């Protein structure tokens, strides 16, 4: 695949592809027809396994394996599409929902066929009222033409797709909190095991996949697993949407093979940093993963390489911060986000995020002390590894990584009694 | 490892064996190691949220073939998990290693406490939980000495927030452990509390209307690990360490929940549950918890009263006892002992009831003795009858029952903690079948609910038996007599006669097949309709006779109805159900050193009729408000008026007491030493915690005083002496001779049951007349009883009198919801508001029993069975 051939962001090439007509003109729903007519459900699962597709929501878990965990016995099963796209700097799912909704629905339908589900939920974050409306229109269009609803393509299969709007909580992007929320409960993560594949929505086997993951299913089915696994790296296969934002000339979504370097993304596709300023830090996965520095520009953006560099690829929302950005300010901003979004279920995250933000506030405004820096690290220790779900672990990343790489900036805040980069205007 | 087998593991170096499936926190406890917890509670599903129980956990390293790798020393090689684990959510496995006191674990626990304390107000000096607060205690053991977050700022919320009249929430103190919300959802079955909002702003809210609408709300205060939930009753009343705590048995219903009565300066300050796995586990209802105020009510009788010139006046004990004795002697001498009668109590202790019947039989020489004033005076006609006077099985065994059958009544209001056990069994997979004309709380949650016309229980059970027999799959063959009798219980006839849906009956019958233990909970009213025999048929026919989970509990009114029965407060049965006349009576005559009347006496109704007719002249009434509760008000009234002597022994000036000639102020539970027998036949001791109020005396002392004034003696009435006597004379009570175990003693000398199948017969009462409405009068937990009405907290929860009418009937009467209707009774036409609801079947109305200002017995015609009343629209 050339870098310009897009299989996800197809609205860039065919702007009206959100309509069923255009989608069909571009070969839409052929993969679904192929799946239900020429493949058994198990064959679909094997095909997805063979492609090497890993979840695009952040964790990178092999999708085919996840589908394979769903028991074969009868009874209701569910497919849940996670469209609670809430990671700061992440805006890829939104573009799929708005620009290419039928491809997502086709992927959902194939997944439902593979695992034997007759009901699917698309859980959209509360702010996605617009995209959800577009998706609902697509659902009606598809159902009217027999791609969804009862008796899909004359096969006797059915699938009801329910578009569900959340109530505005970051934690509901965590799959079990998302399930709680659909069930009408407070969005808080569940204990695992059992995993959703065994006991998920309403206690039934459930596949939870990200929008981008499911949207990749139709091209995989249509073109075959070999096509897919030829793209990317050895362990991180296929194309990926990278959300580029921050101090770059051309922020936006870029669909590129996994393994593309930060440098290529930022400088070739993103047009570099405005004013040619130097890069100070890169957040590879929104607020949730440790920040990297300009030293890491040549790291390849695949799951393994970013991990080796001490961070996580996550949902690949790359936020660039140039040399004018204060790292204490950035950490505080992110910590306030986590403080606000901590669901409150477990003690270390609920209380710890509050104190991280509180101590950072003092440091940023120049009223902190040198010991506050170690206090921050100590609180991170109290949180990290001791929390109920990954949110708490994520919440320590901005603090520990910014101190690791930029401790001198923290010290300068204390010594100067103000932010050295913002002329005391903090 | 085989399932349910034992696994062995090591906790801080100590080897311990526990059943598979045990949680690490419990396994550690087994090994004598405490792992600190806040959110974990052994009776609630673990959630793992407070993170206080983080420990290091390792498991043996296994090779591909499953064998365990060993280290150089030959010991199993252990792979420790990279992160600390919550001991409350980890299930142990063979060879597991727990390290609870490592630096990492200690650091994590210290950290959790430090964080919890940062948003805690630390207002311990004015907190009611202080002194018995897990947060205080664990901070002392595991916490940091000082906080690193000294910002002079605390997390502030308006405090407190009332959750209804009983419970207050202090959100600043709450550590969001979710014990209360889980208790309400998992145990109480009233999910009316929830977490709202998120993060540090998260708070517990109640979303029911009225707020915290649950009869078990007080338990959340007990299990709250901080002072976030406090009870209106105990808030700022005393410090926990000032209380003198005494064990007691709850006096409000026959479940007999175990209590701890906390007293200070001679007053009860707090009632909390005492753990008894066999009875109440560790729960009590809000009545048991908050209704103790009657003990020190200003309306308690403080001194004896004697009627002089038509009015009751205070008198000395000597005068009152003398007046009682003189009156009794006069009647006995002039009209004979058969002119005297006694009505005992379903509330007083076994000892009081035993001495009561002894006084009447051995001293006064009469067998006109009964305790049943609200119905239930017909003995169930069964072979081996008396054995069925005693319940079968144990409360805890309900959990072993595959099927729970509840017939009549309203368990949720009348025996709430038994309902908790039913809900627990349900969660563990038991089926629930409810036979009840009303959609009670249990009916709503039942797998099968069979509504029927009031009084039609036997018809429904006959219908179920017929379906079982027709199905041909019963493990036990029906007896020929049973089979013959079932010819009259065709689905059509059952549907026509009692209005039971044939489909529901069929579904229930299918559920009974292979039910694996059958718990039968049958209300006194349904027993009165003749249900015991068909219920025994169901147990026998479904092969459940000898199943561990099979229980048969009659659910009677009062707190000690079983004790009153066991103690022989019957006209025709001596203590221990010795029938009269009979050779067995000699033993009692010998023991009491008295001539005993040999012929059976009259029951309550006979006593009252006899009194009204002048044949009986003297009534001795102990702990019974005949005028308020006997179903035939006019008969009771004319009896009391006709009697030349009425002696009453009670706590309050009840309607009956007001008409008495001699009144003795009695001391209730908590002021006297007594034993009580609960609905499963468990004899429990309730020692005194307070001095008798004012000049009141224990029932035993009063009865002994009367005997003495008559120149006779009841022997020693010291509690121990009376119990020794009971132990000798009452089969099954030998255990009361010594000190009863803390958990009480179930009847030890139970007779082998004879699960004989007997024919089912349509009762006469089931023949429905078209006239009027069938009256259902189920109880409410918070009624106007003297023991509730004295607690201000509870009176606010008391329902307004109301009559529940089916919409169809409402239309034919011409009323709308809230309209007033007149109940046309033989004694006036009280008016009350109508509530129109599908809760009752067509043709029936529900008026909750014993609501303020509404004595039901003024409205009924006193029929022994389903009463019928007329309704009309009252002028607006």
Instruction: Indicate the burial class of B608 (C-beta count within 10 angstroms; 0-12, 13-18, 19 or more).
Output: buried
B682 pLDDT higher than 60: yes
- Model confidence at B154, pLDDT cuts 50, 70, 90, reads confident
A171, B198: Cβ pair inside 8 Å? Answer: yes
Contact A354 B119 (CB under 8 A): yes
pLDDT of residue B861: 61
Quick one: pLDDT band at residue B151, thresholds 50, 70, 90? confident
B551-561 pLDDT, tens digit each: 999 999 999 99
Grouping H, G, I as helix, E, B as strand and the rest as coil, residue B130 is coil
| CB proximity B185 to A under 8 Å | no
Angle CA B317–B318–B320, to nearest 5: 65
A185: distance to nearest CA of chain B, Å?
9
CB pair distance less than 8 Å for A339 and B199: yes
The kind and range of the H/E element at B423 are: helix B416-427
Contacts with B119 from chain A: Cβ below 8 Å: 351, 354
Q: Where are the alpha helices (DSSP H) in A145-206?
A: 175-182
Say what the pLDDT of residue B769 is: 56
Chain A interface mutation, best of B103, B111, B151, B182, highest count of A Cβ atoms under 10 Å: B111
Q: How many residues does chain A have?
A: 426
**Do B527 and B679 meet the contact criterion of CB atoms below 8 Å apart?**
no
Place of tokens 């015991």: B532
Q: How confident is the model at residue B388 (pLDDT cuts 50, 70, 90)?
A: low
The 10 Å CB-count burial string (b at 16+, else e) for B478-504 is: bbeebeebbebbbbebbbebbbbbeeb
Least confident of A40-49, B459-468, B624-633, B664-673: B624-633
- The string of pLDDT tens digits covering residues B579-608 is 888 888 999 999 999 999 999 999 999 999
- Indicate yes or no: CB of B119 within 8 angstroms of CB of A381: no
Alpha-carbon span B714 to B593, nearest angstrom: 10
Q: Predicted confidence band at A403 (pLDDT cuts at 50, 70, 90)?
A: very high
Residue B865 CB neighbours (<10 A): 18
Chain B contact set for A171 (CB, 8 A): 198
Least confident window among B103-112, B507-516, B564-573, B630-639: B507-516
- Kindly tell me if the per-residue pLDDT of B148 is higher than 90: no
Would you place residue B377 in the very low, low, confident or very high pLDDT band (cuts 50, 70, 90)?
A: low
**Are B271 and B292 within 8 A, CB to CB?**
yes
Most distant CA pair in chain B, distance: 101
Cβ atoms of residues B560 and B350 within 8 Å: yes
Give residue ranges of A with CB < 8 Å to any B CB: 169, 171, 186-188, 191, 339-348, 350-355, 358, 375, 378, 381-382, 385-388
Question: Which chain B residues have a beta carbon less than 8 Å from that of A388?
Answer: 48-49, 51
Cβ-proximal residues to B65 (8 Å cutoff; 6+ apart), any chain: none
CB contact under 8 A, A353 and B196: no
- Residue B364, phi then psi, degrees to nearest 5: -90, -20
pLDDT at B196 over 70: yes
Closest Cα in chain B to A359: B149
Mean pLDDT over residues A14-35, rounded? 96
Mean pLDDT across the stretch B643-647?
A: 98
The values of phi and psi at residue B63, to 5°, are -80, 175
Q: Which residues of A1-10 are buried (b: 16+ CB within 10 A; e: fewer)?
A: beeeebbbbb
Q: What is the pLDDT of residues A349-377, one digit of tens each?
A: 999 999 999 999 999 999 999 999 999 99
Whether the pLDDT of residue B292 is over 50: the answer is yes
**pLDDT, tens digit, 9 for 90 and up, residues B36-46:** 999 999 999 99
- pLDDT mean over B398-406: 96
pLDDT at B755: 82
Say if residue B222's pLDDT is above 60.
yes
Query: Taking CA atoms, what residue in B is nearest to A389?
Result: B49
Residue A169 has its nearest CB partner, among B114, B149, B198, at B198
- Summarised one tens digit per residue, pLDDT across range A30-75 is 999 999 999 999 999 999 999 999 999 999 999 999 999 999 999 9
Question: What percent helix, strand, coil does chain A show, rounded to 5?
Answer: 50, 15, 40
CA-nearest residue to A171 within chain B is B198
Residue A426's pLDDT is: 40
Residue B52 in contact with partner chain A when CB distance is under 8 A: yes
Which positions ≥6 away from A372 have C-beta within 8 Å? A359, A362, A363, A414
* Chain A residue whose CA is closest to B84: A386
Nearest CA to B523 out of B348, B444, B405 is that of B405
Place of tokens 């007001």: B658
Taking an 8 Å cut-off on Cβ atoms, the answer to whether B114 and A382 are in contact is: yes
H helices of B499-580, in order, are: 502-512, 524-528, 532-541, 561-566
DSSP calls for A311-367: S--TT-EEEEEETTS-HHHHHHHHHHHHHHH--SSSHHHHHHHHHHHHHHHHHHTT-
The residue-averaged pLDDT of B481-487 equals 96
pLDDT at B854: 75
Is residue B749's pLDDT more than 60?
no
In three-state secondary structure terms, B365 is coil
Cβ-Cβ contacts under 8 Å between A and B: the total is 95
Q: For tokens 């949680």, what's the residue?
A: B23
> Does position A1 have pLDDT exceeding 50, yes or no?
no
Over residues B410-435, the mean pLDDT reads 96
Convert the pLDDT of each residue in B750-799 to its tens digit.
556 778 888 999 886 544 555 788 889 899 999 888 888 888 899 888 88
In this prediction, residue B376 carries a pLDDT of 65
B57 vs A: CB within 8 A: no
Residue B151 and residue A358: Cβ atoms within 8 Å? yes
Q: pTM score, two decimals?
A: 0.94
Percentage of residues of chain B with pLDDT beyond 70: 95
CB-based contact, B176 to chain A, within 8 Å: yes
Chain A residues inside the 8 Å CB shell of B200 = 339, 342, 344, 350-351, 354
Measure CB to CB from residue A386 to each of B108, B176, B195 and give the nearest one.
Answer: B108
User: What pLDDT does B616 receive?
Assistant: 98
Could you give the 3-state DSSP secondary structure of residue B620? strand
Distances in Å between the Cα of B696 and the Cα atoms of B322, B650, B719, B787 are 17, 10, 17, 17
In the three-class reduction of DSSP (H, G, I as helix; E, B as strand; rest coil), residue B808 is classed as: helix
Chain B residues with beta carbon closer than 8 angstroms to that of A340: 199
In a mutagenesis test of the A interface, which of B38, B83, B107, B198 is the best target, namely the one with the most A β-carbons within 10 Å? B198
Q: What is the pLDDT of residue B65?
A: 87
On whether the CB atoms of residues B850 and B856 are closer than 8 A, the answer is: yes
Band of the pLDDT at A2, cuts 50, 70, 90? very low
Helix (H, G, I), strand (E, B) or coil at A206: strand
- Residue whose tokens read 């577009």: A134
Chain B residue numbers with beta carbons less than 8 Å from the beta carbon of A347 are 49-52, 112, 115-116, 175-176
CB atoms within 10 A of CB B451: 23
The residue among B23, B135, B176, B200 with the most chain A CBs within 10 A of its CB, best to mutate, is B200
Looking at residues B230-257, what average pLDDT do you find?
96
What contacts B560, CB < 8 A, 6 or more positions away? B254, B345, B346, B347, B348, B349, B350, B353, B676, B677
Nearest CA in chain B to A345: B49
Report which of residues B762 and A181 the model is more confident about: A181
Mutate: best of B199, B203, B204, partner A, most A CBs <10 A: B199
Percent residues over pLDDT 90 in chain B: 77
d(CA B714, CA B710): 11
Indicate the range of A108-112, A349-353, B154-158, B338-342 predicted with least confidence: B154-158
DSSP string, A89-131: T--HHHHHHHH-HHHHHHHHHHHHHHHT-SEEEEEE-TTTHHH
pLDDT band at A88 (very low <50, low <70, confident <90, very high): very high
**Average pLDDT over chain B, rounded to whole?**
92
Identify any residues that bridge with B463 across adjacent strands, giving them in sequence order: none
């Amino acid at each position: 695949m050339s870098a310009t051939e897009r299989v996800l962001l197809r609205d860039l090439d065919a702007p009206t592809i959100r309509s069923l007509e255009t989608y069909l003109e571009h070969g839409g729903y052929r993969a679904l027809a192929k799946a239900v007519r020429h493949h058994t459900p198990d064959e679909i699962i094997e095909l997805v396994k063979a492609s090497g597709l890993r979840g695009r929501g952040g964790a990178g878990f092999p999708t085919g394996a996840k589908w394979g965990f769903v028991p074969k016995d009868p009874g209701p099963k569910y497919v849940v599409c996670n469209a609670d796209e809430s990671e700061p700097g992440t805006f890829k799912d939104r573009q799929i929902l708005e620009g290419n909704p039928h491809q997502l629905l086709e992927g959902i339908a194939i997944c439902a066929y593979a695992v034997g589900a007759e009901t699917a939920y698309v859980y959209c974050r509360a702010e996605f009222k617009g995209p959800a409306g577009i998706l609902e229109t697509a659902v009606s269009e598809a159902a009217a033409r027999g791609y969804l609803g009862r008796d899909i393509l004359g096969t006797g299969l059915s699938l009801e797709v329910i578009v569900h709007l959340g109530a505005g909580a970051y934690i509901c992007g965590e799959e079990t909190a998302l399930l709680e929320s659909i069930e009408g409960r407070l969005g808080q993560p569940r204990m695992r095991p059992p995993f959703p594949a065994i006991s998920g929505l309403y206690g039934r086997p459930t596949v939870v996949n990200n929008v981008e993951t499911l949207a990749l299913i139709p091209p995989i089915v249509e073109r075959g697993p070999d096509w897919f696994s030829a793209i990317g790296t050895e362990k991180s296969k296929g194309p990926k949407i990278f959300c580029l934002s921050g101090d770059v000339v051309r922020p936006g979504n870029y669909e590129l093979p996994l393994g593309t370097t930060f440098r290529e993304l930022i400088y070739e596709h993103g047009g570099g940093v405005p004013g040619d300023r130097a890069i100070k830090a890169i957040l590879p996965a929104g607020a949730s993963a440790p920040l990297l520095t300009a030293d890491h520009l040549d790291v390849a953006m695949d799951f393994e390489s970013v991990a080796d560099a001490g961070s996580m690829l996550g949902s690949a929302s790359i936020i660039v911060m140039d040399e004018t950005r204060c790292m204490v300010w950035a950490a505080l901003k992110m910590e306030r986000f986590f403080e606000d979004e901590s669901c409150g279920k477990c003690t270390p995250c609920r209380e710890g995020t509050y104190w991280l933000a509180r101590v950072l506030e003092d440091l940023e405004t120049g009223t902190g002390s040198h010991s506050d820096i170690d206090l921050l690290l100590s609180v991170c220790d109290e949180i990290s590894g001791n929390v109920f779900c990954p949110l708490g672990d994520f919440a320590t990343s901005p603090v520990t990584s910014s101190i690791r790489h930029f401790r001198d900036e923290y010290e300068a805040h204390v010594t100067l009694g103000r932010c050295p980069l913002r002329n005391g205007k903090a | 490892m085989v399932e349910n087998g034992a696994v062995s593991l090591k906790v801080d170096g100590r080897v311990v064996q526990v059943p598979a499936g045990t949680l690490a926190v419990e396994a550690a406890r087994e090994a004598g190691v405490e792992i600190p917890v806040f959110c974990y509670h052994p009776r609630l599903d673990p959630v793992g949220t407070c993170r206080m129980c983080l420990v290091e956990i390792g498991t043996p390293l296994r090779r591909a073939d499953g064998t365990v790798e060993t280290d150089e020393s030959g010991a199993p090689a252990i792979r420790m998990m990279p992160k600390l684990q919550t001991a409350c959510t980890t299930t142990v496995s063979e060879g597991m290693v727990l390290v609870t006191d490592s630096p990492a674990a200690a650091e994590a626990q210290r950290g959790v406490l430090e964080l919890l304390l940062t948003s805690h107000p630390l207002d311990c000096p004015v907190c009611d939980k202080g002194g018995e607060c897990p947060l205080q205690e664990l901070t002392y053991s595991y916490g940091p000495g000082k906080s690193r977050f000294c910002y002079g700022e605390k997390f502030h919320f308006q405090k407190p927030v009332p959750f209804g009249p009983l419970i207050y929430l202090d959100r600043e103190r709450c550590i969001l452990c979710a014990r209360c919300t889980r208790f309400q959802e998992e145990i109480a079955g009233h999910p009316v509390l929830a977490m709202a909002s998120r993060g540090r702003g998260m708070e517990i809210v109640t979303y029911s209307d009225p707020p915290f609408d649950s009869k078990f709300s007080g338990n959340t205060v007990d299990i709250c690990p901080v002072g976030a939930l406090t009870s209106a009753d105990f808030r700022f009343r005393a410090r926990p360490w000032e209380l003198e705590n005494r064990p007691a048995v709850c006096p409000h219903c026959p479940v007999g929940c175990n209590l701890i009565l906390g007293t200070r300066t001679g007053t009860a300050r707090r009632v909390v549950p005492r753990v008894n796995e066999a009875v109440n586990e560790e729960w009590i209802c809000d009545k048991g918890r908050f209704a103790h105020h009657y003990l020190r009510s200003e309306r308690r009788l403080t001194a004896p009263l004697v009627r002089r010139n038509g009015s009751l006046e205070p008198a000395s004990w000597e005068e009152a006892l003398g007046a009682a004795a003189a009156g009794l002697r006069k009647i006995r001498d002039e009209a004979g002992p058969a002119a005297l009668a006694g009505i005992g109590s379903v509330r007083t202790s076994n000892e009081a009831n035993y001495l009561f019947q002894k006084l009447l039989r051995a001293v006064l020489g009469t067998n006109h003795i009964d305790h049943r004033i609200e119905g239930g005076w017909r003995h169930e006609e069964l072979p081996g009858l008396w054995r069925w006077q005693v319940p079968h099985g144990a409360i805890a065994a309900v959990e072993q029952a595959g099927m729970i059958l509840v017939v009549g009544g309203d368990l949720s209001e009348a025996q709430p903690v038994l309902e908790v056990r039913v809900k627990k069994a349900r969660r563990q997979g038991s089926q629930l079948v409810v036979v009840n004309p009303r959609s009670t709380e249990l009916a709503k949650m039942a797998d099968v609910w069979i509504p029927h016309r009031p009084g039609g229980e036997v018809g429904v059970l006959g219908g179920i038996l017929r379906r079982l027999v027709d199905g041909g799959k019963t493990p036990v063959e029906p007896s020929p007599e049973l089979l013959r009798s079932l010819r009259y219980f065709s689905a059509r006839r059952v549907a026509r006669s009692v209005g039971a849906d044939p489909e529901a009956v069929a579904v229930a019958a299918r559920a009974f097949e292979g039910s694996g233990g059958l718990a039968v909970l049958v209300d006194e009213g349904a027993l009165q309709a003749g249900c015991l025999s068909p219920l025994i048929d169901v147990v026998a026919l479904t092969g459940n006779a000898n199943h561990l989970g099979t229980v048969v509990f009659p659910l009677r009114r009062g707190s000690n109805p079983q004790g009153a029965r066991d103690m022989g407060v019957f006209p025709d049965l001596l203590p221990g159900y010795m029938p009269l006349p009979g050779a067995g009576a000699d033993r009692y005559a010998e023991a009491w050193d008295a001539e005993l009347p040999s012929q059976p006496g009259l029951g309550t109704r006979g006593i009252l009729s006899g009194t009204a007719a002048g044949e009986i002249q003297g009534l001795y009434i102990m702990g019974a408000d005949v005028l308020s509760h006997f179903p035939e008000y006019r008969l009771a009234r004319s009896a009391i008026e006709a009697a030349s002597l009425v002696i009453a022994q009670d706590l309050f000036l009840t309607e009956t007491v007001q008409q008495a000639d001699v009144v003795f102020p009695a001391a209730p539970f908590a002021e006297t030493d007594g034993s009580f027998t609960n609905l499963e036949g468990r004899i429990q001791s309730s020692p005194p915690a307070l001095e008798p109020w004012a000049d009141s005396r224990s029932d035993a002392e009063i009865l002994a005083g009367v005997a003495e004034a008559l120149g006779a003696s009841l022997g020693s009435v010291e509690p121990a002496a009376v119990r020794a006597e009971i132990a000798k004379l009452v089969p099954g009570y030998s255990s009361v001779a010594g000190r009863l175990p803390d958990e009480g003693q179930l009847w030890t000398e139970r007779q082998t049951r004879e699960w004989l199948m007997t024919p089912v017969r349509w009762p006469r009462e089931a023949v429905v007349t078209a006239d009027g409405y069938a009256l259902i009068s189920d109880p409410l937990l918070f009624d106007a009883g003297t023991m509730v009405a004295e607690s201000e907290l509870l009176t606010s929860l008391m329902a307004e009198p109301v009559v529940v009418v089916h919409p169809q009937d409402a239309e034919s009467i011409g009323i709308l919801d809230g309209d007033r209707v007149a109940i046309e009774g033989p004694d006036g036409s009280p008016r009350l508001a109508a509530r129109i609801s599908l809760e009752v079947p067509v043709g029936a109305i529900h008026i909750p029993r014993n609501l303020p200002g509404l004595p039901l017995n003024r409205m009924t015609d006193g029929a022994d069975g389903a009463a019928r009343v007329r309704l009309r629209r009252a002028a607006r």
